[in-house]
Amino acid sequence: MQQPMLAIIIVSWNVRDLLERCITTVHASLAGSGIAYRITVVDNASTDGTFAMLRTRHPNVEVIDAGRNLGFAGGNNLALRRVLSRNGSRVRHVLLLNPDTEVIGDAIPTLVRYLEEHPDVVVVGPRLRYSDGTVQSSRRRFPTPGVLFWESTPLEWRWLNNPWVRRYRCMDTPDDQEQTVDWLVGAALLVRRSAIDRVGLLDAGFVMYSEELEWQQRLHACGRIVYLPAAEIMHHEGKSSTQVPTWRLMTFHRSRLRYARMRYGDHLATGLYIFLMAVYGAELFVEAGKWLLGHRRDLRRQRIGGYVAFLRGLGLRD
């Protein structure tokens, strides 16, 4: 078998049918491209028959049983260590791909050709689309402290189109324009192997969320990060993490607290923690009041339970 120059890594948890579709579209995208590739799936202890599906429908896919849920960073690192350490490995590029994606047309060869033709670029990513075809925001500037206090908090729920989000999400530039960015959402990232060798793997201290942000900050020292809308991938966003919504919210903010401490220091991280406890405590108080008034008590009870679990689980440090 020809040694692959492209390693494709997919970390999956309980999304068997989406994973099967993802792999099928990867093969279709690369068919006839002349690019030698190998797909490695890391299974984070799925219980939905993922292993059986891979054995019967995609026997040529390498499968790594993580044994437990290692998260995005831990799962990708497990595969990266194996893929890049093989004797005789000539892997030049690594594509980190979410299992809830579908590759559109020749998106993967387009990304690979771009890296091959632009030696100053270390990461390139496609334009992402939601299931209904609308464009998903995937371009980012590095977050300011204001963004840390806004994103995925009650402030965002109540003030969507604010100045922080517009700058942070690059809304001042069109999404159909190729452009250099600070970082890209991690649903589909093609990364130059030599850059990984220089900066190291993802930080597995991030169980989920912010790991691709922190990694791309390190990768920035090696070259440019480019958004390439000529390549498109559909992203059925969050199909694994939405199975546990309270855990998802708590994990997002725990990761942001860790990032805030690494990027801005303990004082800002402590302030962010106090802020999160206050605003979500206020949301809990509001929901409790509505429950006392008899307003949609089943919904209020569910939300109260979620906020209580969030406040108990949120920690200032890992």
Task: Choose between 183 and 160: higher pLDDT.
Answer: 183
Angle at which helix 245-264 crosses helix 297-313, to 10 degrees, equals: 30
Mean pLDDT of 58-68: 94
pLDDT in tens, 156-179: 888 877 777 889 999 999 999 999
Question: What global pTM score does this model have?
Answer: 0.91
Mean pLDDT of 99-123: 98
Mean pLDDT for the chain overall: 92
Contact of 191 with 202, CB cutoff 8 Å: no
Dist CA 204 CA 211 (whole Å): 8
Task: Choose between 245 and 40: higher pLDDT.
Answer: 40
Chain centroid offset of residue 287 CA: 31
Kind and range of the H or E run holding 107: helix 107-117
Kind and range of the H or E run holding 290: helix 266-292
pLDDT in tens, 4-46: 799 999 999 999 999 999 999 999 999 999 999 999 999 998 9
